[in-house]
Amino acid sequence: MSSQFSLLPSKAPLAESLRPETLDTYVGQTHIKPRLQALLHAKRLPSLLLFGPPGCGKSSLALLLARTQRRRFLRLSAPEAGLPQLRRALSSTEILILDEIHRFSKAQQDFFLPLAESGELTLIATTTENPSFSVTRQLLSRLHVLKLEPLEDSDLIELAQRGAARLELHLEESTLEMLAHIAHGDARTLLNLLEYVSALPKDKQDADSIRAYLPEILTRHDKTGDSHYERASALIKSIRGSDPDAALYYLACLLEGGEDPRFICRRLILSASEDIGLADPQALSMAVACQQAVEFVGMPEGFIPLAETVTYLALAKKSNSTYAAYLSAVREIRLNGTLPVPLHLRNPSTTLHKQWGYGKEYKYPHQSPEGWLKQQYLPDSLEESTFYQPRNNGAEPHLAAWWLSLHTAESAASELHKEPAPQENEKAPVNSQAQENTLPPSE
């Protein structure tokens, strides 16, 4: 946590010993290099938030910026720093580098508001989490956000060459390219791999031997960052798009990366309801059975029912009619609020309720041979509203056929009982009762 920059001991990790001292030796992030140049030449460094995936150079950039200011700085990690420790440490500090600020609670983040606003302290915070969700709005408004990207393979190869030279490690170009590729944009992972390779026997430092020794690195998966949600989203979108190959690929990415299968099962259950719905009602049963099977069998064999279910869902006919119908009903409620339930549908649980007319004239559908009687169920002002629109996919037309036939017959009957429109020269009869009914109710 010292602010004094000195040569690192020879036993320092490679990732630490290769930290850049100037912007010219800083690798990657070319999309923000002009902004970084401007910051380096500014009279005073503003408070910053460096957001990006692990190993993209956030901490190295924070240290580089702090050192160029020639002011007292301190580096802390949020998980190890409490507010009492911060208050003591900041008494003689002008720049604070705070790693993993997303690990601070809202109250802890609020501690920095007056310091950052007054300029008393320059805060350089780093986070791997989306700041829109992990940093309070008040603090975010006081920080300049720089979004860092995963390093390109070309950047990683350059770093690998520097690291190999520092370790006096002679590796073929193809081996450096392979290490850069499997590091997935993470410089720290790459340099740790180089250190691992340097400890291998000389005859085991070729690409094929390294692949055999490091199978788990090849399927690296961030279970908490954006890539976690990106792959999960890709899985569901592939199912929705009826692409079993893509769905199986993203399922394998998640599982091989160590994803919790229960998370995947939850997503599949939602997909079966939202995207397949009544086009194949069996899909929901399949997804629930998959969850039970995975719980019972466990991993790694749990991939078998998962693969079967993902393929089934991708192949199934699709309909989001019930999902869309619910959202339509929600929009109505948010627009006009919840309306009173018709009196005949209310349960007359007390004598007073009966006196008020609760349940009066309610028609019990099972009294009809068809199990249906014409009756109003929606509130009065919504009587003609329609939320559910059946789709003509899979089993849904068969399921909706009876319901549609009832409403078609009802519409036809209504047309038959309509009075014929008066002729052009014929005066329509006056209906005094109808006129009375247009008056507003007294209550």
Predicted pLDDT at 69: 83
Rg of the chain in Å (alpha carbons): 33
Predicted pLDDT at 442: 34
More confident position, 215 or 204: 204
* 14 touches 166 (CB < 8 A): yes
More confident position, 5 or 120: 120
Indicate whether 58 pLDDT > 90.
yes
Indicate whether 427 pLDDT > 60.
no
- Please name each of the domains of the chain with its CATH number: 14-147 (3.40.50.300), 153-218 (1.10.8), 226-315 (1.20.272.10), 322-405 (1.10.3710.10)
Tokens representing 303 are 């991939």
Range in 25-29, 121-125, 219-223, 409-413 with the lowest mean pLDDT: 219-223
* 194 touches 18 (CB < 8 A): no
Tokens representing 396 are 């849904």
Predicted pLDDT at 285: 95
Q: Does the CA dihedral 127-128-130-134 come out positive or negative?
A: negative
Q: How far apart are CA 443 and CA 436, in angstroms?
A: 15
In percent, the amount of the chain with pLDDT more than 90 equals 29
Q: Which residue's structure tokens are 């119908």?
A: 325
Count of Cβ atoms closer than 10 Å to residue 73 Cβ: 23
Range in 31-40, 204-213, 369-378 with the lowest mean pLDDT: 204-213
Question: What is the pLDDT averaged over residues 142-147?
Answer: 91
Q: How far apart are CA 141 and CA 135, in angstroms?
A: 10
Tokens representing 325 are 């119908």
pLDDT band per the 50, 70, 90 thresholds, residue 422: low
Q: Which pLDDT tens digit goes with each residue over 342-368?
A: 888 888 888 888 888 888 888 888 888
Average pLDDT, the chain: 82
pLDDT band per the 50, 70, 90 thresholds, residue 443: very low
Q: Tell me the pTM.
A: 0.54
DSSP state of 418: S
